[in-house]
């Protein structure tokens, strides 16, 4: 087996059953990987030097084809169901063997790296790829080892990713030919039949979401985080479209990370070494930091050029709306390295409430914070092909249900405990509609939202008077610097107050109905955070 590059002397590929391959290239530099990708016909160089690649048939994750091996270790700890789909241990072993045999004829790219910027909580990784650009993706997204560290590197978790290898569902126990399977006993992830690189990133996130809370008493979080000059850390939770990336990218504050973090007894730390940002309709004016980060060493996925040029047309969605870029975090000017900071003083739950019900900013007590954390609410604007229609509620437990191996109440209880121990403020921020629902009211102005978050961060809301929301029970400030007082209570912004009351009760009932699937495992403290409403049909 021909091997070259900077290879670990501690553990070879035989540890995961690979004893033969066409060629193995270890820990190549970004420049070498770009050269390999171009020689292999995997992509093109853009005008900024970034590598443009396509992910093939799959342009996003495939949640129904993500499995966890159910065995003695996971049987009683994993939250089994539609999200964590069980996979037979013996079938995993047979599929692993088939993949190893397939790899005998392949050129392999091996990346040694780690996840977790806190030395006491890091997870040593090894990623084995059949495509050079995917190995570059892993170089960008995971934390990078020095050449000296690589020599003694001992992986604790290994990813084998071969997009060209397809399973036979009838024989292998998968749903389709593509799959992503986590085995917590073998410390391995198998990925095949899909070229979407995000499966590797989110696979390791899922691993940490199990190991850290279950085995290390550390809260794992799907969030962004930044820190001010005085060392005050802030965390931002929010689903797609709520403004999480925009609001956490503050030039006055250092970026700890944009997506995945852990919260220990004394710090918050980033799991990753890079950012994986959406680029649909990207402009320098809207997202200057992301725009400037797309340079040599970065990757752009599923994008297209302006005809006759190598300039990326970010408005082009002919492949997918989910066009993305992956780059090392140090491509962001104000990135904090190492990506760690003190425990947070403020947490923001961001929601784009298209019903126009929730206050633009409100303060949550511990029970409400745990309840809203498990709810993970936002509202998507429904399709408008035949005129304006009713918005649709979206709930995702802990703002990342797809990546939670444990029951959501486990993460919520840890959050509540940390709030109490550290006197942390939790704010619910509505970046959605005011003055009425979508189609009637207007979107909350971004400068107002920024002003409210800035006031919370500076402690300027600590001494103002608050009013309790009659349905949701959250505390609404009566005043906020640089924000008109009349918009702080959403009911005041509606022309028809009775319509607001009806809509508020209706939204609250949707919260209660959604929470029913978690209620069996929820403590009285969590349940106390529910809004005052009954379930309606």
CA dist 300 and 412 (Å) reads 35
259 is catalytic: yes
Count how many Cα atoms sit within 13 Å of the Cα of residue 137 in the half-sphere of its side chain.
30
Instruction: Report the SS3 class of residue 213.
Output: helix
Integer Rg of the chain from CA: 24
Is omega for the bond preceding 338 within 30 degrees of 0, making it cis?
A: yes
22 is catalytic: no
Concatenated DSSP letters of 83-109: TBEEEEHHHHHHHHHHHHHHHTTSEEE
Which one of the listed residues 46, 218, 242, 245 is annotated catalytic?
Answer: 245
Which one of the listed residues 144, 186, 202, 363 is annotated catalytic?
Answer: 202
Cβ partners under 8 Å of residue 430, min gap 6: 351, 352, 353, 358, 359, 360, 361, 444, 490
Which one of the listed residues 222, 363, 407, 418 is annotated catalytic?
Answer: 222
CA dist 134 and 204 (Å) reads 15
CA dist 387 and 364 (Å) reads 36
175 is catalytic: no
524 is catalytic: no
What φ, ψ does residue 523 adopt, rounded to 5°?
-75, 165
Buried b vs exposed e over 423-445: b needs ≥16 C-beta within 10 Å?
A: ebbbbbbbbbbbbbbbbebeebe
61 is catalytic: yes
Cβ partners under 8 Å of residue 357, min gap 6: 490, 500, 503, 504, 507
CA dist 43 and 31 (Å) reads 14
536 is catalytic: no
CA proximity to 203, closest of 62, 403, 411: 403
240 is catalytic: yes
Which one of the listed residues 7, 111, 244, 261 is annotated catalytic?
Answer: 244
Which one of the listed residues 7, 61, 253, 510 is annotated catalytic?
Answer: 61
Instruction: Report the SS3 class of residue 4.
Output: strand
Cβ partners under 8 Å of residue 451, min gap 6: 480, 481, 482, 483
Instruction: Report the SS3 class of residue 429.
Output: strand
Cβ partners under 8 Å of residue 14, min gap 6: none
**In this structure, are residues 233 and 343 in contact, taking their beta carbons and an 8 Å threshold?**
yes
Which one of the listed residues 15, 240, 309, 523 is annotated catalytic?
Answer: 240
What sign does the CA torsion over 149, 328, 316, 49 have?
negative
Which one of the listed residues 65, 250, 259, 353 is annotated catalytic?
Answer: 259
Burial grade of 416 (CB within 10 A; 0-12, 13-18, 19 or more): buried
**In this structure, are residues 194 and 181 in contact, taking their beta carbons and an 8 Å threshold?**
no
Active site residues: 61, 202, 222, 240, 244-245, 259, 324
């Amino acid at each position: 087996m021909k091997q070259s590059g900077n290879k670990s002397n501690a553990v070879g590929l035989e540890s995961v059953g690979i004893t033969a391959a066409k060629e193995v290239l270890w820990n190549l530099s970004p420049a070498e990987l770009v050269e390999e990708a171009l020689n292999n016909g995997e992509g093109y160089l853009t005008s900024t030097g970034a590598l443009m690649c396509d992910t093939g048939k799959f342009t996003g994750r495939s949640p129904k084809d993500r499995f966890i091996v159910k065995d003695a270790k996971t049987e009683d700890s994993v939250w089994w169901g539609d999200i964590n789909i069980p996979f037979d241990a013996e079938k995993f072993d047979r599929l692993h063997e088939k993949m190893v045999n397939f790899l005998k004829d392949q050129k392999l790219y091996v990346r040694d790296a780690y996840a977790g910027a806190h030395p006491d909580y890091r997870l040593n990784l090894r990623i084995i790829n059949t495509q050079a650009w995917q190995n570059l993706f892993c170089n960008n997204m995971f934390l990078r080892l020095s050449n000296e560290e690589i020599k003694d590197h001992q992986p604790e978790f290994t990813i084998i990713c071969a997009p060209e290898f397809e399973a036979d569902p009838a024989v292998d126990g998968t749903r389709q030919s593509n799959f992503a399977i986590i085995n917590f006993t073998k410390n391995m992830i198998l990925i095949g039949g899909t070229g979407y690189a995000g499966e590797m990133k989110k696979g390791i996130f899922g691993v940490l979401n199990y190991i850290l809370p279950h085995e290390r008493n550390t809260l794992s979080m799907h969030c962004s985080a930044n820190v001010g000059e005085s060392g005050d850390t802030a965390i931002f939770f929010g689903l797609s479209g709520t403004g999480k990336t925009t609001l956490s990218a503050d030039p006055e504050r250092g970026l700890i990370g944009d997506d995945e973090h852990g919260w220990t007894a004394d710090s918050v730390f980033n799991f990753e070494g890079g950012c994986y940002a959406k680029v649909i309709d990207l402009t320098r004016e809207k997202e200057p930091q992301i725009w400037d980060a797309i340079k040599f060493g970065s990757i752009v996925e599923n994008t297209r050029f302006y005809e006759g040029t190598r300039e990326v047309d970010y408005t082009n969605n002919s492949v997918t709306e989910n066009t993305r870029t992956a780059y090392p975090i140090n491509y962001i000017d104000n990135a904090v390295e190492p990506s760690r900071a003190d425990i947070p003083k403020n947490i923001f739950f961001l929601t784009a409430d298209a019903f126009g019900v929730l206050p633009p900013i409100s303060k949550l007590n511990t029970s409400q914070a745990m309840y809203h954390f498990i709810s993970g609410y936002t509202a998507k604007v429904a399709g408008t092909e035949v005129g304006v229609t009713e918005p649709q509620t979206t709930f995702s437990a802990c703002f990342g249900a797809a990546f939670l191996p444990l029951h959501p109440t486990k993460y919520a209880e840890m959050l509540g405990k940390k709030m109490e121990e550290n006197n942390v403020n939790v704010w619910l921020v509505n970046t959605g509609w005011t003055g009425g629902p979508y189609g009637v009211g207007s979107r909350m102005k971004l400068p107002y939202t920024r002003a409210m978050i800035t006031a919370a961060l500076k402690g300027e809301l600590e001494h103002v008077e608050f009013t309790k929301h009659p349905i949701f029970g959250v505390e609404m400030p009566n005043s906020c610097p640089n924000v008109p007082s009349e918009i702080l209570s959403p009911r005041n912004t509606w022309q028809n107050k009775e319509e607001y009351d009806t809509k508020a009760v209706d939204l609250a009932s949707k919260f209660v109905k959604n929470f029913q699937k978690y209620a069996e495992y929820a403590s009285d403290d969590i349940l106390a955070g529910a809004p005052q409403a009954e379930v309606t049909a």
